[in-house]
A and B are shown apart, each in its own frame.
Chain A
Amino acid sequence: MRLTHLSLRDFRSYVEVELPLDAGVTALVGPNGQGKTNLVEAVGYLATLGSHRVAQDAPLVRLGSERAVVRANVVRDDRALLVEIEITPGKANRARVNRAPVPRAREVIGILRTVLFAPEDLALVKGDPTERRRFLDDLLVLRTPRLAGVRADYDRVLRQRNALLKSAGAGIRAGKGDLRTLEVWDSHLATTGAELLAARLDLVEVIRPLVDKAYDAVADSGGPVALDYKCSLGEDVPLVPDRDVLSAALLSEISNLRRNELERGISLVGPHRDDLLLKLGPLPAKGYASHGESWSFALALRLAAYDLLRSDTDEGGEPVLILDDVFAELDVGRRERLAGMVARAEQVLVTAAVAADVPEELAGARVDVMAGEVRRVR
């Protein structure tokens, strides 16, 4: 699939902008702070209803405006669709498809599919486990929308259970505990947790070879890379993606940890405590990998996601690949290899502050971005 046109109104630094786009590579080039990332952020927002930079919507709306509008023409399987989102912070988004309002903005998710790599993704390698869990879960939901419900339920179960652990723990210390309802939350944590965990384990199996392939393609040295799902259930539990087995294992670990959990007032086992261990050769990437290696690893994770989504049938073809500021941090060899890889994609948007950073192979369209204006120069 691809975008043929993007228009923004009061989005970030843009008062109004119209950007026609072609298939293949488009490089957005301009000095720092001119609005390159703002453009690709808008594209990502249209695909996911979320920004890769901020959790809240307020920063997306141009200072002094009440609402922002992101609109794009999308071509999927030779069918043209006009998708439009109106963002008003503090209120529900409003969406239209082919000018007809949809009942819930959420319904536009997935019409446009993107995979976005941005400097923030370095946190996938260097940051907290939260970042890697989110990477897995976002990808899960993209492929299996039903899991959005499981993920939301799991978060809610955790909050309820932690609230109860805090009050029950305090009660028990005061000599009047009530554990009856805790068992109910134990079982809900085990069932929803097992479902999420099983889906993650499946996913890790599927992307492992893809990440390896992508890292190899970009880096040609330093590997091989390895992905290990590190589960809070401990080493002894065989990690098979079977919900019943996992649910039973979670329940039994929960009962082992009862006293500890009551003392600390938090849930100590479950997919919210897991991590995806990334290794480069024999060493963990976090704490050992060089900056360029970490960058390449994070990029490999995104490229693997791209590869995976591309191979999902019936989803309107390849997602749009977005590479924000990716080249500046790579050496010449890696730049060229990456360029060779992505040059064949259906549509790629790349940004760069310096035109010379964009490898020669990516001789597609070029758009100069300057002070909130865009100008097609090639």
Chain B
Amino acid sequence: MYEGVVQDLIDELGQLPGVGPKSAQRIAFHLLAADPVDVRRLITALTEVKEKVRFCRTCGNVAEEDQCRICRDTRRDLSVICVVEESKDVVAIEKTREFRGRYHVLGGAISPIEGIGPDDLRVKELMTRLADGSITELILATDPNLEGEATATYLARLVKPMGLRVTRLASGLPVGGDLEYADEVTLGRAFEGRRLLDV
């Protein structure tokens, strides 16, 4: 244990995702030794992110204004919505440049263990967006894990009466790797989820 404020800093840093006690200590001592100007810049960034960044009133993505950049972009396809768990998923999909519609950020996935149900996610907001009938396709891009699957199933059932086209991203082999290096579980699942090649 260190004295007062140093330990407070270590404890705070230790709360961050992916930062264990050892790393927290290393970061704390780095900050102690760092140039005050650099530290002040970090403080400003932290303060501003909390003050300025808001969530898009339409899709829930992080935004600096009332609506996010994507929702304001009139060139985007207004008939498709891609549902993701987090804002960082939006960034990942945007990088592909494959998708020209808009997003809906749920803010997580259904997980009873953590006490997260549909009411804790932005599901109502999604239903409101779908209500006027202008959306024709819903892409469910929640994480390819159990909670993501459950959330996708839940949403698919919920919107079924609306008669939209509902699709789910294929999960399987990570690209960029060789088939022979995929672990047997992933490879086995990819086999299970194989699709007909229509040529």
Cβ of A178 and Cβ of B117 under 8 Å apart?
yes
| B183 nearest CB across to chain A (Å) | 7
Verify B188–A149 contact, CB threshold 8 A. yes
Contact across chains for B185 and A149 when beta carbons are under 8 A apart: yes
Question: Which A residues lie within 8 Å of B184 (CB)?
Answer: 145-146, 148
The contact of B185 among A146, A160, A164, by CB within 8 Å, is A146
Q: B113, A146: Cβ atoms under 8 Å?
A: no
Asked whether, in the complex, the Cβ of B153 is within 8 Å of the Cβ of A184, the reply is: yes
Q: How far is the CB of B192 from chain A (nearest CB, A)?
A: 7
Chain A residue nearest to B181 (CB atoms) is A103
B125 interface contact, C-beta 8 A: no
Chain B neighbourhood of A160, CB < 8 A: 111-113, 146-147, 150
Question: Which residue in chain B gives the minimum CB-CB distance to A187?
Answer: B153
Query: Which residues of B lie under 8 Å from residue A185 when comparing CB positions?
Result: 112, 150
Report if A146-B154 is in contact (Cβ < 8 Å); known contacts: A178-B117, A180-B118: no
* Shortest Cβ distance from B111 into A: residue: A160
Decide yes or no whether B57 CB sits under 8 A from chain A.
Answer: no
Given contacts A146-B189, A160-B147, A184-B110, contact A107 B183 (CB under 8 A): yes
Say whether A167 faces chain B, with CB atoms less than 8 Å apart: yes
Q: Contacts A160-B111, A188-B146, A188-B149: A181 and B188 contacting too (C-beta < 8 A)?
A: no
Looking at A167, A181, A188, which has the most chain B CB atoms within 10 Å of its CB? A181
Q: When each residue 112-143 of chain B gets 1 if its CB lies under 8 Å from chain A and 0 otherwise, what string results?
A: 11010111000000000000000000000000
- Interface mask (A182-224 → B, CB under 8 Å = 1, otherwise 0): 0111011000000000000000000000000000000000000
Please state if B189 and A181 are interface contacts (CB–CB under 8 Å): no
Are B150 and A184 closer than 8 Å at their CB atoms? yes
Would you call the interface of chain A mostly helix, strand, loop, or mixed?
A: helix
The answer to whether A149 touches B189 (Cβ under 8 A) is: yes
Taken together as a complex, chains A and B put the C-alpha atoms of A149 and B187 apart, in Å, by 11
Kindly state whether residue B157 has any CB partner on chain A within 8 Å.
yes
- Contact A163:B113 (CB < 8 A) given known A184-B153, A184-B157, A188-B150: yes
Q: Which residues from A are CB-within-8-Å of B187?
A: 146
Q: Say yes or no: A146 contacts B192, CB within 8 Å.
A: yes
The interface residues of chain A lying within 8 Å CB-to-CB of B150 are: 160, 181, 184-185, 188
Binary CB contact string for chain B from 138 to 165 against chain A (1 if under 8 A, 0 otherwise)? 0000000011011001100110000000
Q: How far is the CA of A107 from the CA of B192 in the complex (A)?
A: 21
A145 / chain B contacts, CB cutoff of 8 Å: 184-185, 188
A81 to B39 Cα, complex, angstroms: 52
Interface membership of chain A positions 22-59, coded 1 if the CB is closer than 8 angstroms to chain B and 0 otherwise: 00000000000000000000000000000000000000
A181–B113 alpha-carbon span in the complex (Å): 13
Asked if B183 and A156 sit within 8 Å, CB to CB, the answer is no
A161:B112 contact, CB within 8 angstroms: yes
CA–CA, A164 to B189, complex, Å? 27
Closest residue of A by beta carbon distance from B113: A163
With A145-B185, A146-B184, A181-B118 as contacts: A163 and B157 at CB distance below 8 Å: no
CB contact list, B18-74 vs A, under 8 A: none
CB contacts (< 8 Å) of B185 on chain A: these are 145-146, 148-149
* A275 interface contact, C-beta 8 A: no
Q: Return the CB mask of A100-126 against B: 1 if under 8 Å, else 0.
A: 000110110000000000000000000
The answer, yes or no, to whether A157 is at the interface (CB within 8 Å) is yes
Provide a sorted-by-A list of 20 A–B residue pairs whose CB atoms are within 8 angstroms.
A107-B183, A145-B184, A146-B184, A146-B188, A146-B191, A148-B185, A149-B189, A153-B146, A160-B112, A160-B150, A161-B112, A163-B112, A181-B110, A184-B110, A184-B153, A184-B154, A184-B157, A185-B112, A187-B153, A188-B146
9 tightest A-B CB contacts, nearest first: A146-B188, A164-B112, A145-B184, A163-B112, A149-B185, A163-B113, A184-B154, A184-B153, A156-B146
In addition to A144-B188, A185-B150, 11 A-B residue pairs with Cβ atoms within 8 Å of each other are A104-B183, A107-B183, A146-B189, A148-B184, A149-B189, A160-B146, A160-B150, A163-B112, A180-B154, A181-B118, A188-B153
